[in-house]
Structure 1
Amino acid sequence: MSDKIYFNTSNKFSFKRSLVSVSTRLHHAIAPKHAENLARKLLLTPVRSKPKNAQPQGLIKRELKTSEGTLQTYQLGEGPVWVLTHGWSGTANQFMPLMEHIASQGYTALAYDHPAHGESEGVYGHIPGFVRGLEAVLDNCGDVAGIIGHSMGTAAALECHHQKLLNCPMLLIAPVLDYLDNLFSSLKRSGYSMKLFNAVALELEKKYHYPLHSIDPYTKLSNRTSRTFIVHDQDDKFARFAVSQKAANEIDNVTLIATQGQGHGRIMKSDFVMQAFNVLAQE
């Protein structure tokens, strides 16, 4: 359910909207606390994906204590640091082929598992937690040469105001630049109770002092002055390609590399991404 809530761009879900609408509203009316606990699990619990890529030789794994629990980090190579931040229900393991490429070019690739993802601690995942996790990683590494994000990890990178990211180049892979529009339109199509969703969102806002309406990756991208490459497949089913195209047309420092047949996940280890990194690293 959570993947469909956050990243569904189809016209309808596989279950009946009316049933979801009635059941969630009735549940919240009869047993509000129980409904909110269930909603928290449903909306904020990512899938713990299993690793699909072999760990490269020389990979250094470390544990990092943060306010969001212990995060697992992965480092490969030597030289200026490029930080990699994965997406919802993803893991740093998805970046392993790209990390090998980065290391081969004379750089350090530093990836990590977000809270409640991969080998990191945590139960719930959300943008405020993603941002705090990224801030902790940045606090504990040297100067940053650039940052690479995938899917919801791109939103976290753009939302992060850490000093080390202010002027560094960005490589955004299948980015979710319209996070709130995508979220609310998906909720509407699902029939899920907005009152119940708002109760969960308000709890997060109070805990992290992070208003939901302030999440705006597209505007944050337009305010950046450093170079940004977007690599996005035209038929991506989870993140809207049209929004990336709009960003490239409207924002001077954004370059779009459009692909076909790479999907939302496979694109992470495509030659298009490797080539985009080479260009950014040389500028």
Structure 2
Amino acid sequence: MAAPTSSANNPAAAFYAASPAARALGATLRLADRLVPAWGTRGALRLFFTPLPWKLAARRPLPSPWQLTLWPFEGVQLASHRRADAPPGRPVVLLVHGWAGSAGQMLRLGDRLADAGFDPVLLDLPAHGRSGGWRSTLPQFGRALFAATARLGPLHGVVAHSLGALAALHAAARGLPVQHLALIAPSAPPAQFLDWFAGSFGLPAGISARMRSQIELREQVNLGEYEPGWLGPRVMQPSLVLHDEADRVAPFGASRRLAKAMPSLRLASHAGLGHRRILDDAAVAEAVAAHLRIEGSA
């Protein structure tokens, strides 16, 4: 049985190291997989689909003038946050967090876009923030984006972080009505992250392939559709990617591969910000606003 790999060569290990409960569960998964591999696969998927560590503080209301609206979505409530002082008719921009994040992480970006003349809407993805549920998946993230456009109408832009950025790319490739994409520290494709996930708990190499098969069967989507080679020819929207080259959670190499595959994408490096502080950086917010700005919107 392999030992858990370190965060030096496994971004998933760095992510899950913050959760002692997840490490304890990893030992249980290794035992279950030795006894009955199907049990190990089932347990690994339940853990993989659970945002950790739980951040109950993310369920608190956002400050005024942000107002909460709940939409029914796949058996739970999907939470969105919109400024009560937004004048009608402004271009709508949807802001989407990443795995184990919340709409509150996008607050500074949302306020900056409101100042720039947009109508920002912050979305709590399923099982995150004030949305219902305890487990979610990347394909469900994408379905939540389509559900948002059913409520909001066609979008001027989507600003998305980490796994939310990957969901936004896939949704755009699948016809999401959006004109511009601003992607911040996008995650690596799920097939790669499944290998990292298994390695971070010392699980056998074959379990990631079993997990992938189960995810594709359950969600009815080929995870190869999240690879740059599949996305590149299908995403035509002008796209900006902002990423720290030293990001230890979402390696910069994933953005480089996207830039090579997508003629419509411009990649900008922002050093020293890591994976989450990049969301609060003033220069990043200005770059996003400039990318989204259209004549008459600011």
Q: Deviations over 1:227-259 (max 9, x none)?
A: 111111121111111332344456432222211
Q: What's 1:39 paired with? A: 44
8 Å CA contact retained: 1:128, 1:208: yes
RMSD between superposed Cα atoms in Å: 3.1
Residue 203 of structure 1: SS of its match in structure 2?
A: helix
1:229-240 to structure 2, matched below 5 A, reads 229-240=240-251
Change (3 A) 1:188 1:265: same
Instruction: Indicate yes or no: 2:231 matched with 1:220.
Output: yes
Structure 1 unmatched ranges of 5 or more: none
Q: What's 1:28 paired with? A: 33
Q: What's 2:293 paired with? A: 282
Structure 2 unmatched ranges of 5 or more: 18-24
Q: What's 2:21 paired with? A: none
Instruction: Indicate yes or no: 2:217 matched with 1:206.
Output: yes
Rounded Cα–Cα distance in structure 2 between residues aligned with 1:118 and 1:83: 16
Instruction: Report the identity percentage.
Output: 24
Q: What's 2:177 paired with? A: 164
- Bigger drift between 28-37 and 93-102 goes to 28-37
8 Å CA contact retained: 1:21, 1:193: no
Q: What's 1:74 paired with? A: 81
8 Å CA contact retained: 1:53, 1:93: no
Residue 230 of structure 1: SS of its match in structure 2?
A: strand
- Bigger drift between 245-254 and 101-110 goes to 245-254
Q: What's 2:9 paired with? A: 11
8 Å CA contact retained: 2:229, 2:261: no
8 Å CA contact retained: 1:60, 1:75: yes
Per-residue deviation, 1:110: 1.0
One-letter identity of the residue aligned with 1:270: D
Change (3 A) 1:122 1:55: closer
- Bigger drift between 54-63 and 78-87 goes to 54-63
Rounded Cα–Cα distance in structure 2 between residues aligned with 1:180 and 1:162: 23
Alignment partner of 2:166 out of 148, 155, 161:
155
- Bigger drift between 128-137 and 39-48 goes to 39-48
One-letter identity of the residue aligned with 2:147: A
Change (3 A) 1:180 1:68: farther
Q: Tell me which stretches of 4 or more aligned residues in structure 1 moved more than 6 Å.
A: 20-23
Aligned residues: 273
